[in-house]
Every structure is written in C-alpha cells, then in structure tokens.
Amino acid sequence: MLVTTKTEEILQKQRCFFQTGKTRAIDFRREALKTLKHLLIADREKILLALKQDFNKSNFESIETELLFCTRQIDYTLKNLKSWIKPDKVPASLFQLPASARIVAEPLGIILIIGAWNYPVQLTLSPLISAIAAGNCAIIKPSEITSRTSVAIAHLIGQAFPSEYITVIEGGKDIVRDLIAHKFDRIFFTGSSRVGQIIMEAAAKHLTPVTLELGGKSPCIIEPDIDLDITARRVAWGKFLNCGQTCIAPDYVLIHRSIKTAFLKKIQEKIEQFYGSDPERSPDYAKIVNDFHFQRLLSAIEPQKVVIGGKSNAETRYIAPTVMDGVTWDDRIMEEEIFGPILPVLEYEDLEAAIAQINARPKPLALYLFTNKKKTRERVLQATSSGNVCLNDTLMQIVSEHLPFGGVGESGMGTSHGKIGFNTFSHQKSILQRSFWLDLPLRYPPYTEIKAKFFNFFLR
C-alpha cells in the first residue's frame, strides 16, 4: 500500500534521527519546548478560529481549556526538566557492595500520539510535550472529526519541527489502521474504549506499550450537607463546558432525595446565568461536533423525563443544556457514556446503596463527591475505584501538574501530566556499577556447607 510505504519511510527517517542522539540533549529538548510554546502563542488566532469553526468554541473557553493548558504544561516542564533528567542515585544492597546504583530516564524512541476531537489541541499536544521532554521523536495523528483544527495543528508542527523529528499525519480510520500496524516504542491514544481495544490489539503484535485515556460514566454524588448554590454552579459548569463533550464531565448526578427538588431549581438558575434564557444564542455555548453525535444524543433523550432544556436544532447541531429527572438505572441514557449536554439525575436515600450501584458498573474515569463530612469522604474513597477523584468541585483535578491523570479498568491504562507524563515516555533504566577491588568467593561454586550456612543466616 502507498500509505504503508509512506508511513514506513517516515518511521525510518525518525529512527535514523533518533539514533543520532540529538533528541537526548537537554538543550535540544528545552529549545523544542520553547519553540512549541512560541508558535502556540503566535498562531493562536488561527487555532482559535479553527476551534470556533469545528464546534463553536468561544475564544475564552478555547484559551482556558486548550492553549493555556498546554503553555502552562510547557512552563512547568521547562522548570523541572533538569531534575527529571538527572540520574536518581539509589543504595546498593549488602550483597552488591562495593558498588553504586542509579536509575536513568532513557527516551523510548518513536512515539505515536493519536489525539481526540473533544479537546483537539490539548489532547494532542499535551502528550507531545511529555514526549519531547523525555527525548523522543513522535508521529501525531490528530482527529479528523475536528478537521480544521487538525489542519491548524499540522501547520503549527510543520513550522516548528523537521519531519524526521516530529510530524503530523492527517486522515481518518484508514490512516489509524495503517499507523498502528507499524512498530512504535509507545502508543498514546485518547478516545473511546471500543477504539482503545483495537489499538491495544494491534500494539500487542509488536509488544508495543500503550497508554489509553478512555472514559466512562463518571458519577457525581451529592450529599445533603453541602452548599447547594455553589454545588449547582460547579456541576453545571463541569457538565456543560464544551457542550458536555468532556471525558471527565459528570456523566450523571446521584443526589440525596431530600435535596433533589432544590438542586434542580438551582441548576436551572445556573444554566440561565451562564448561557441566558436562550443558550442557542449564547456566544459561550459550544455545539455538537458532527451530525452522528447529534443524532446519537437526541436518541438518548426521553422527552417525558426532561425537566430543563431539551430543545435542539439539527441545522446548527445545537442541543440545549438538558436535565432529565426520574431516571432509573435501566434507562437508555444510563447504558453508556453520554458525552454531551444531557444530565440525568438519579436519587437515593441510602449512600451505601448508591455506592453499590456505582460499583456494579465499569470503573469510571472520574468520580465527584460533594459533602462536608470527613466520614462520608473517607467511606466513598475507600469503597469506590475510579481513575481520579474531585471532592466538592468538578474537572479541576486535571489542572494540577502534580496529580497524575489516567483511568483504571475500562476507563484507561497508564497516566500522564507532569513528572508522571515524563516517566510514561521514558524507560527507567537500572544501572549497577561494581568495583574490582573486592570479590568474595561466597557466591561462586563449589557451594560448601559453610557458604550455605552463611546465606541461611539471612533467611531468619
């Protein structure tokens, strides 16, 4: 195939460039990161326009969740890169003495990054920043669903780096299939669990390690002892940001029956405060990315259970911020991750029963809990498993470079961000150095009874 031949040519050029050792030099890595930051800022108007065209993202939202996220990560990486690269000296064991031991972070080689469409800049360039910091070459495949942003990313990377170092390959499913058929040193994929399985199956043929950032139905538990006004504001923001197309958005609310009615009233107030009485006219409210997802979301709405929103416009791919009440665990909306501006509300009386319902389903990427009680926090944290947790807020756990980000079980594999992201694209190579001046015969044959007694002494 022509595509396969082209891909192999690019890979061969990158392997040759990587073997020169240039990417290992700290000054080379730092300059690459500085160049990427400079062009992100210089090209921001083009990027903002592309995001606006792809799904009506407001400039504020695009800067906040896409550009600023990346530039802050670059700044943090530049600040800490020297310490990350420095070999980590560790003690040698008694049986190794005299010796010294250290761990060296070694670049893996050629990285394949397959980006996602919902935050097409952040979710493509954030892993690239970590890959550059670790000293690798990379091939980037942006999502074809956000086609204008894909072009903008290709233009930016083409300006910044030679193709033998970092290159962008655009295209659809055929390109992905071709890329994953080749051998890489790590694949970093962000997207659905279904595609994640395909990526992992293909990678297994080459024993290629993978990082999979997937998703799932992230629950939001709301206890009665909270500040209802702030809780409603933070839930509404986290759910309807980017028109609900966020992998860690609160997928559904589990709320104590005693405050459900008050919560519904409050969240309606917050939606109107954010987007006005007609969100379709709001400059701050995005649209659904394409017709497929628009129809998928519409089919999940049960009109008789809609208490807020529910309006839509196929021409503009608009779906209003929508809240559904009276939802049960058997409803269609609860079958899979929503990934859109629809918030099902389920009520409970007993927290243990709510926890049991969460645990009966695949482990989510995120879990949210609103409560002021330490005992409740400890119980939920101990009883549930999720990729990450945010207490008394939504989405903010992803902001810190000190917190690793990733899923567990069906919601993902591996972690990223900060030093953890650097480690993801590095091999932690163990190095032991021994001296010639002492070479005790204890470990060498013949294995006498005296030698056996010596080693048996340490079994106590």
| Positions marked catalytic | 213, 247
Q: How far is CA 145 from the centre of its chain?
A: 18
DSSP code string of 165-219: TEEE---SHHHHHHHHTS--SEEEEES-HHHHHHHHHHHHTTT--EEEE-----E
Distance CA 241, CA 55 (A): 12
Give the CA angle between residues 230, 234, 237 to the nearest 5°.
140
Distance CA 173, CA 176 (A): 5
The pair of structure tokens assigned to 199 is 């990526």
3-class DSSP assignment, residue 6: helix
Q: For residues 278, 279, 282 and 284, what is the CA-based torsion angle, rounded to 10 degrees? A: 160
3-class DSSP assignment, residue 152: helix
Q: Which residues are paired to 220 by β-bridges?
A: 253, 368
Distance CA 242, CA 288 (A): 9
CA dihedral for 179, 182, 185, 186, sign (positive or negative) = positive
Distance CA 326, CA 347 (A): 8
Amino acid present at 178: D
User: Cβ atoms within 10 A of the Cβ of 197, count?
Assistant: 13
The pair of structure tokens assigned to 439 is 């070479």
Instruction: Provide the terminal-to-terminal Cα distance of the chain, rounded to the nearest Å.
Output: 64
Q: Is 385 left (phi over 0), alpha (psi -120 to 50) or beta?
A: beta
Question: Residue 317 in contact with residue 286, Cβ under 8 Å?
Answer: no
- Give the list of residues 6+ apart from residue 72 with CB closer than 8 angstroms, or none: 401
What does DSSP say about strands 252-256 and 342-348: parallel, antiparallel, or unpaired?
parallel
How many CA atoms lie within 13 Å of 145's alpha carbon, on the beta-carbon side? 17
Distance CA 117, CA 289 (A): 8
Give the CA angle between residues 125, 128, 132 to the nearest 5°.
140
What does DSSP say about strands 99-107 and 88-90: parallel, antiparallel, or unpaired?
antiparallel
Look at residues 319, 298, 322, 324 and name the one whose alpha carbon lies nearest to residue 309. Answer: 322
